[in-house]
Amino acid sequence: MAHHVETTIRVNAPAEKVWETLRDFSSVERFSSNVESSPIVGEVAAGLGTKRICTFYDKSTVLEEIVGYEEGESLDIELSEFSMPLKSMRAQMKVTPIDGATSDASFSMDFVVKYGPVGWLMGALMMKPMMRGITRDILKGLAFHVTTGNTIGSEMPSAAALAAAVG
């Protein structure tokens, strides 16, 4: 059975500007404090079928592929080759315009943990709260990067710096 987490934040930037960052699939390290690098691999450089290898600061990696793509609106991403005890994981990032100066950014994940009922319990008690925190931090980092142009690096900006980016 899959676990689902979803987070939405208001970004103090137009949807087009947020989408510009998400469209560049090799740029996740600019707004995620966990990702050290995310180069594109394979023949497809943008849009549906694009793949990247995310290398985290702890040197673990994950392969991510865009399996659904709506220009200006959403990316559906399938994750594989991860070190976590997962059978499968899919994620979606969406941008919704609110007005000319603000937008909502959403990040959802569906994941299935290995190890049957024990894995499901581990997913419910440990991994789901962890994934919820990860989605929240990635979206806050996205808002910060989009509004300031600054790269996150390995540490999240201060709460005060993030507050200016998030509505």
Domain ranges of the chain: 3-165
The CATH code that applies to domain 3-165 is 3.30.530.20
The model's pLDDT over 41-96, given as tens digits with 9 standing for 90+, comes to: 999 999 999 999 999 999 999 999 999 999 999 999 999 999 889 999 999 999 99
What pLDDT is recorded for position 74? 98
In this predicted structure, the answer to whether residue 1 has a pLDDT above a threshold of 90 is no
- Mean pLDDT for 122-147 is 97
Assign 23 to helix, strand or coil.
helix
Tokens 């600054």 sit on residue: 150
What pLDDT is recorded for position 167? 86
- Dihedral of CA atoms 60, 131, 22, 34 in degrees, nearest 10, equals -40
In this predicted structure, the answer to whether residue 19 has a pLDDT above a threshold of 90 is yes
Strand (E) positions, 23-141? 35-37, 40-41, 51-56, 61-70, 74-80, 86-97, 103-113
CB 94 within 8 A of CB 77: no
What pLDDT is recorded for position 72? 96
Cα–Cα distance measured from residue 162 to residue 120, given in angstroms and rounded to the nearest whole number: 34
CB 45 within 8 A of CB 52: no
pTM (2 d.p.): 0.95
In this predicted structure, the answer to whether residue 36 has a pLDDT above a threshold of 90 is yes
